[in-house]
Amino acid sequence: MIFFSIGLPSCFAELCDALTLRLAEHCLGSVALGAFNSFEDVATAAIRSDAAHLVAASRQPVVRLQSEIVGAGRPFLVALGDVRSALSDLLQRPNYDIPAATREIASSCAAMLTLTKAPGALVLPGIHGKEPAQLAAAIADHFGFAVAAGDLAAIAASVGDLAAGVEQETAWIDRLSDHEQAIIDGALQPYVSYFAGGELEPIVWEPDLFFANDEHFPAIGPIDITGLGRILVFGPYINLTPGPWSATVVIGFSAETAGVGFVVEVYAGAQLATARVQPTGEQVIESTLQFTIEDSVDQPVEIRIVSERAAFDGRL
């Protein structure tokens, strides 16, 4: 049996993972915990694991895995928690800056958007709060684990260290620069509003979330197009929910780019949409691409800007 614990990458989700593992071990004995974000991850673990049961901790499940989870008709957890607290948790880990943490949380939010509405989902904390004892009782009931009250209390006490890290203050966001807040708000605020009961507003991916020429450099500031035709800008490698989408890509061109053709592409494992633009001088061009994320998609979304031929000068 596989028990899915899906959530934003956060201390709260780790708490829910641990409670699910302890409860499953108490009732079933041999249980292993692993990180699974694709159908292939699950299949590989099922083949290689010596445990009779698995707790699948998933933070950025691809669309295909989401479809399989919902289609199975079995209960699963969605540890939603708080989006900005999750961002704070990630930023305290090594190798995470504002763009990297924003990409990861945005990809996770896209999965939560679908899964929180699915039959079989227990969305936490919800009415259950964040206390381990209440969470343990809710998780046990959802998965059908028969656990005595005394054992529930002991299991809740065993994850006390994880519970202590759940409550994070988010006032630090107000101390960020306007530009840093724009990166976060554009990619994440639409999800925050949606989870609070609103509509999903347009998502904005700032240039900082993309890469220029080399994946170690963000696509900010002028981007030199001098050289052979190539991919100039790519990224942000963020998941989107299944369904139709419209992406508007805004590109500024210097006067020297006149006459050079550029292709704008949307990829998610395969090309989903493409458009061609050719500036006539210094100008800003908006290119809108329509595409659909199918249930079979197993890759995050990438937008590319490609120069068609060699250029001797010019900047984006």
Domain of 297: which CATH number?
A: 2.60.40
237 pLDDT above the threshold of 90: yes
Q: Is residue 186 a part of any domain in this protein?
A: no
161, 213: one domain: no
What's the confidence (pLDDT) of residue 54? 86
| CATH number reported for the structural domain that contains residue 34 in this entry | 3.40.50.300
Pair (127, 26) in one structural domain: yes
211 and 149 within one domain: no
User: Are 152 and 267 within one domain?
Assistant: no
pLDDT at 176: 83
Residue 25 and residue 82 in one domain: yes
pLDDT higher than threshold 60 for residue 135: yes
Q: What is the pLDDT of residue 214?
A: 65
Average pLDDT of every residue of the chain = 88
The predicted structure's pLDDT at residue 20: 93
Same domain, 143 and 34: yes
- pLDDT for 11: 87
Q: Which of 25-34, 187-196, 254-263 bottoms out in mean pLDDT, i.e. has the lowest?
A: 25-34
pLDDT of 22: 93
One domain, residues 127 and 230: no
- The residue range of the domain holding 21 is 2-171
> According to the 3-state scheme, what is the secondary structure of the chain?
CEEEEEECCCHHHHHHHHHHHHHHHHHHCCEEEEECCCHHHHHHHHHHCCCCEEEEEECCCCHHHHHHHHHHCCCEEEECCCHHHHHHHHHCCCCCCHHHHHHHHHHHHHHHHHHCCCCCEEEECHHHCCCHHHHHHHHHHHHCCCCCHHHHHHHHHHCHHHHHCCCCCCHHHHHCCHHHHHHHHHHHHHHHHHHCCCCCCCCCCCHHHCEECEEEEECCCCCECCECCCEEEECEEECCCCEEEEEEEEEEECHHHCCCCEEEEEECCCEEEEEEECCCCCEEEEEEEEEEECCCCCCCEEEEEEECCCECCCEC
pLDDT of residue 129 exceeding 70, the answer is no
pLDDT of residue 142: 95
With respect to residue 135, please indicate whether it lies within any of the assigned structural domains: yes
Q: Is residue 179 part of a domain?
A: no
> Is the model's pLDDT at 32 over the cut of 70?
yes
Residue finishing a domain among 149, 171, 193: 171
Is 200 a member of any domain?
Answer: no
pLDDT in tens, 168-216: 556 667 788 899 999 999 999 999 999 888 889 999 999 999 999 766 7
- The answer to whether residues 167 and 75 belong to one domain is yes
Number of domains forming the structure of the chain: 2
Asked if residue 198 belongs to a domain, the reply is no
Of 127, 151, 171, which residue is a domain's last?
A: 171
- Does 293 map to a domain? yes
**Lowest-confidence range among 107-111, 125-129, 288-292, 293-297?**
125-129
Please check the confidence at residue 151 and state whether its pLDDT lies above 60.
Answer: yes
Same domain, 141 and 227: no
287 and 141, same structural domain?
A: no
Least confident of 11-15, 45-49, 54-58, 95-99: 45-49
pLDDT, greater one: 126 or 50 = 50
Query: Stretch 230-244: mean pLDDT, rounded?
Result: 92
The verdict on 152 and 237 lying in the same domain is: no
Domain boundary among 120, 147, 171: 171
Do 229 and 148 lie in one domain? The reply is: no
Does the residue 183 lie in any domain? no
| Confidence (pLDDT) at 303 | 96
Residue 232 lies in a domain: yes
